[in-house]
Chains A and B, each alone.
Chain A
Amino acid sequence: MLSRVASSLYWMSRYVERAENTARVLDVAWRMSLLVKEPRLQDQEWFAPLNITGTLFPFAGRHNIVCAREVLHFMALDPENPSSIYACARQARENARSVRGAITSEMWEVLNSTWLEMQQMDEEKMQARGVSAFFDWVKERSHLFRGVTFGTMHRDDAYEFARLGTHMERADSTARILDVKYHILLPSVKEVGGAVDYYQWSAVLRSVSAFEAYRKVYRDVITPLKLAELLILRDDIPRSLRFCLRQVHDTLGRVQNAQSGETLRCSGQILSGLQYGRISDIFAGGLHEYLTEFLESMQSLSLQIQKSFFYATPVE
């Protein structure tokens, strides 16, 4: 398929997934902030979503204080913030629009009507609807898009590149969400293992729709170690790093070309680390450090993918 089209499909899916994951991150921050009773500390929670999406710097450039209202608006609705849900919906739709011939009309209709509805959204409407209801809507649109893709799209390379974008972005997001606890300070040391701590970890689980799975797999109280194992190393949790990387690696195997050997090696290397890794080792080296390194390796894999599939292939 055309390199330009493959690239647009890849980014279309990434933006849909990014919108969903931003909604998940904000939702968990929102839930956590409701647990904190001290108003002075409430706003502290709102550094987290900015930190984990890497948007604290641009946010600070335009806002003086970090508070729920400002962060929510910036990350959900701000057209000027290129990683807001609003901007993601726009980008997903723009990418789809430039490759309409390669996607089904059902896929296009989902993205187009999402964008049309998104343009009608403002802060007042979001509050009136309920902040969580808005995030649910974003997630539902993303679910719908994936379902429609799965249910209608011809299983050709276009499908592969669309799926590739989904899993690349999702692996990135799960790693970031998992890192959220690093960025959220507990009110005091004695709270570790207490009720607030518990609620925060369960909020992380819920944010990646893995709460029920955790219960089923471990039949145990929520501990950071098991939670991290679930979201990093398990092969049967659809938002875990290992699951996503297996999808990425398999997809890259199916679309490989003469120049993509190094790309496949990169994804294989990351995947084998997840397949044979031990959670105790990860914690020994520090979860935050592990996740930081993982995000860097994903970044370089993403560049490899672009280099071997999307950049103009020279004709010999």
Chain B
Amino acid sequence: MPLDHYYNEMYAEDGSVRRHYEAFSEWLRETPASRIAQNRHAADLLFHRVGITFAVYGESSGTERLIPFDIVPHVIPGAQWDLLARGLRQRMGALNRFLHDIYHQQEIIQAGRIPREHVNDNAQFRREMVGIDVPGGVYAHIAGVDLVRNSDGEYYVLEDNLRTPSGVSYMLENRKMMMRLFPELFAQQLIRPVDHYPDLLLDTLRSVSHVDNPTIVLLTPGHYNSAYFEHAFLAQQMGIELVEGQDLVVLNNTVFMRTTQGPQKVDVIYRRIDDDFLDPLAFRPDSMLGVPGLLAAYRAGRVTLANAIGTGVADDKSMYPYVPEMIRFYLGEEPILKNVPTYSLRVEDDCKYVLAHLDELVVKETQGSGGYGMLVGPTASRDERERFRQRILDAPERFIAQPTLSLSQVPTFCGDGLAARHVDLRPYVLTGREIRFAPGGLTRVALREGSLVVNSSQGGGVKDTWVVD
């Protein structure tokens, strides 16, 4: 595929620099290559020293790796971002309404807008949540919505990520790094700040408690988890305790943490542990990460969980095609953000079509995440496609397929020079009493030439994201 087939965020079709990249482009032209090289090196050292690493699954335990950081920012014009923000606000509003609905009256099913079995047979649908009222009716307090820009220049939502989305610490650290290395860039133009995100998050968590001055904790699986750095970082930034399951204990449906001064009551838990591991009495009995009795305390309304239990049913890949319908149903509005056309392989016609066009499509497991368990048809080998075909035939209902999107590109340092690489954008949407976000989000970049997979576990890197006015 020719390069000009992709939308380039920095350069227009005719090779001229887009207006919102002009200041950066000029800086790039005038800054000696040696200084840039020196600072790129400095960035690596700093990230290593600060310890911004992530663990890689499948390698020996405790393996830590640095996420490669690229200094060319992903720049978004303010007006463009404001439109995206409206779309995100609308989408999250509808998704939270949907979650409340399906755990209560299920009006959207009764109205025939979503097939009943899609909801009730979904492995992420938590019967334990039926009829439970959560504070403010908010289920997905923190969402990391993946957006991509296609060759048509339009943004599409790729995934909603309503469970325990990660990566926001990179958004914050990337900005800190850019300001440290190249302060002059921030003097030249107005780049909207993002560093108040931890305040917004803390405020959101406070706003969904049933008590006035809540004790809030962040529940982590522990320091072998790939996102542990982020858990510690956020807890510290918010000034709340970072707890592990073993630090919490439930008595009389009340959650306490064990402290050097004795037990202390906990009101809100920002949990970064999946539903399945939260409570060995209710979910997986072999979980060593959770807190026995937590579900009972939660159901009794004695503690708030963010995100709520059972949000996975709304960001499941098989539910994704219905989000535009949710927006119409609950809000009576037309969706601002586009969905990628999606084939459900449980539907026979769709399945046939997909199997005949494997080399054009991206096939994903509905339960997969992190870039694991997916097939990128156009770049996969014949062998890989045939192996995947067999997996699809074995259990078609576990897969969806989408046309291969031509993710937009941003120039990126590779070796000594700049080359165009594909990016996506993950804004973090906070829902409490109101919906808020830090402008921009995390930009992930696929560093391998031609690659469309931006996940850090699959060789992706990150960039600073600028919303400029």
A residues adjacent to B (C-beta < 8 A): 1-6, 97-102, 105, 108-109, 112-113, 116, 157, 161, 255, 257-258, 309-310, 312-313, 315
Chain B residues closer than 8 Å to A315, beta-carbon distance: 249, 251, 256, 263
Q: Do B262 and A105 have beta carbons less than 8 Å apart?
A: no
Complex Cα–Cα for A102 and B235 (A): 9
Chain B residues closer than 8 Å to A100, beta-carbon distance: 51, 229, 232-233, 236, 242
Q: Bits for B210-247, please: 1 = Cβ < 8 Å to A, else 0.
A: 00000000000011000001011101100001111011
Complex Cα–Cα for A108 and B48 (A): 12
Chain A residues closer than 8 Å to B251, beta-carbon distance: 315
Q: Do A101 and B232 have beta carbons less than 8 Å apart?
A: yes
Q: Bits for B46-61, please: 1 = Cβ < 8 Å to A, else 0.
A: 0011110000000000
Contact partner of B48 among A4, A6, A98, A116, CB < 8 A? A116
Chain A residues closer than 8 Å to B235, beta-carbon distance: 101
- Additional A-B contacts beyond A108-B50, A116-B48, A309-B260 (8; CB < 8 A): A2-B241, A3-B258, A4-B247, A101-B232, A105-B50, A112-B51, A312-B246, A315-B256
Q: Is the interface of A mostly helix, strand, loop or mixed?
A: helix
A259 to chain B: closest residue by CB: B262
Q: Given A101-B242, A108-B51, A315-B263, is A2 in contact with B236 using a C-beta cutoff of 8 Å?
A: no
CB of B259 within 8 A of chain A?
Answer: yes
Chain A residues closer than 8 Å to B80, beta-carbon distance: none
Q: Do A101 and B241 have beta carbons less than 8 Å apart?
A: yes
Complex Cα–Cα for A101 and B229 (A): 9
CB of B446 within 8 A of chain A?
Answer: no
Contact partner of A3 among B222, B233, B259, CB < 8 A? B259
Smallest beta-carbon distance A182→chain B, Å: 38
CB of B261 within 8 A of chain A?
Answer: yes
Smallest beta-carbon distance B256→chain A, Å: 6
Complex Cα–Cα for A108 and B49 (A): 9
Contact partner of A1 among B48, B49, B236, B260, CB < 8 A? B260
Complex Cα–Cα for A116 and B49 (A): 9
User: Count of B residues near A, CB < 8 Å?
Assistant: 28
Q: Is the interface of B mostly helix, strand, loop or mixed?
A: mixed
Smallest beta-carbon distance A162→chain B, Å: 13
Q: Do B257 and A257 have beta carbons less than 8 Å apart?
A: no
Q: Do A2 and B256 have beta carbons less than 8 Å apart?
A: no
Q: Do B247 and A112 have beta carbons less than 8 Å apart?
A: no
Q: Bits for B256-279, please: 1 = Cβ < 8 Å to A, else 0.
A: 111111110000000000000000
Q: Do B244 and A4 have beta carbons less than 8 Å apart?
A: yes
Q: Given A97-B223, A101-B235, is A257 in contact with B260 using a C-beta cutoff of 8 Å?
A: yes
Smallest beta-carbon distance A307→chain B, Å: 12
Chain B residues closer than 8 Å to A255, beta-carbon distance: 260
Complex Cα–Cα for A101 and B249 (A): 21
B218 to chain A: closest residue by CB: A101
Smallest beta-carbon distance A95→chain B, Å: 10
| 9 A-B pairs whose Cβ atoms sit less than 8 Å apart in the complex | A2-B258, A6-B260, A97-B223, A100-B242, A102-B242, A108-B50, A112-B50, A312-B246, A313-B259
Chain B residues closer than 8 Å to A102, beta-carbon distance: 242
Chain B residues closer than 8 Å to A310, beta-carbon distance: 260
Smallest beta-carbon distance A65→chain B, Å: 34
Chain A residues closer than 8 Å to B263, beta-carbon distance: 313, 315
Q: Do A4 and B236 have beta carbons less than 8 Å apart?
A: no
Complex Cα–Cα for A208 and B411 (A): 57
Smallest beta-carbon distance A141→chain B, Å: 14
Chain A residues closer than 8 Å to B261, beta-carbon distance: 1, 257
Smallest beta-carbon distance B209→chain A, Å: 20
Chain A residues closer than 8 Å to B48, beta-carbon distance: 116
